[in-house]
Amino acid sequence: MPKRALTPELIAATALELGDRDGDPAMSMRRIAAELGCDPMAIYRHFANREALLDAVADLALAGVAAPGPDLRWDQRLSELLTEVRGAALRHPGIAAHVAARPPLGANGRRLSAAITGALADAGLTPSGVVQSTQALIAYVAAALAMTVKAGARDERWHRVSAVLGAGMPVVGSEEQFAYGLRLMINGIRGEAAGGGQGSVHSPIRE
């Protein structure tokens, strides 16, 4: 097989493939290099360090996620988009934890963040509310994703949480659980947009 010229794109795609196939410990500089048939140091020509490479791989994992069209209501757009982000990350189990752990600064991350802020602006939040809600939603998706990843594989510890909290309940990390929490956030945002202004931390909508 002819050795293709090394590019950032090829390196990231190879790392993603390797992670999908053999799990995230397979995404070491050495093993990625071996898969590419090059010296480990050759990768450092294209990425400053492992962190930078994983940023690119994490962003690549979100490439397939499309922002929902503007014909949907803001809350539907949000829940569809974030559910798809979660799904896309889970389709790449090797990098999912990294997607959850790092800020969405890549091309796809910025594109999807912009879609979130767009939906929130349509919800009628203040500019400050838009930014803060975006960050809160990203935080929630990241955490739910991290939980799902940990609950998967053979790490049964998160399953024990379900046992501790209550029997017969939706399993930690399930899509059901994700949707529930997302609904809480969106309902909270709706309340914020409708009534509550700045200092409503302890003032309920109705007592």
Partner DNA sequence: ACCTGAACACCGTTCAAGT
Residue 38 as a binder of DNA (CB under 7 A): the answer is yes
**Spatial distance between the Cα atoms of 124 and 193, rounded to a whole number of angstroms:** 5
The window from 9-17, 49-57, 107-115, 181-189 that contacts DNA (CB under 7 A) reads 49-57
Q: What is the residue whose two structure tokens read 């974030």? A: 82
Residue 42 as a binder of DNA (CB under 7 A): the answer is yes
Residue 17 as a binder of DNA (CB under 7 A): the answer is no
For 152, other C-beta atoms within 10 Å of its C-beta total 13
Single residue of 7, 21, 49, 105 touching DNA by CB under 7 A: 49
Cα dihedral 62→66→67→71 (10° resolution): -160
Least distance to DNA from the beta carbon of 51, Å? 6
**Spatial distance between the Cα atoms of 101 and 149, rounded to a whole number of angstroms:** 12
Give 28 or 174: the residue with its C-beta nearer to DNA: 28
Within 13 Å of residue 82, how many CA atoms lie on the same side as its CB? 32
Least distance to its own copies from the beta carbon of 125, Å? 11
Residue 51 as a binder of DNA (CB under 7 A): the answer is yes
Binding positions for its own copies, 60-119, rule CB under 8 A: 73, 75-76, 79, 100-105, 110, 113, 117
Single residue of 54, 158, 175, 197 touching its own copies by CB under 8 A: 158
Contact, 123 vs 74, CB < 8 A?
yes
DSSP state of 170: P
| Interacting residues toward DNA by CB under 7 A | 25, 27-31, 38-42, 44-45, 49-51
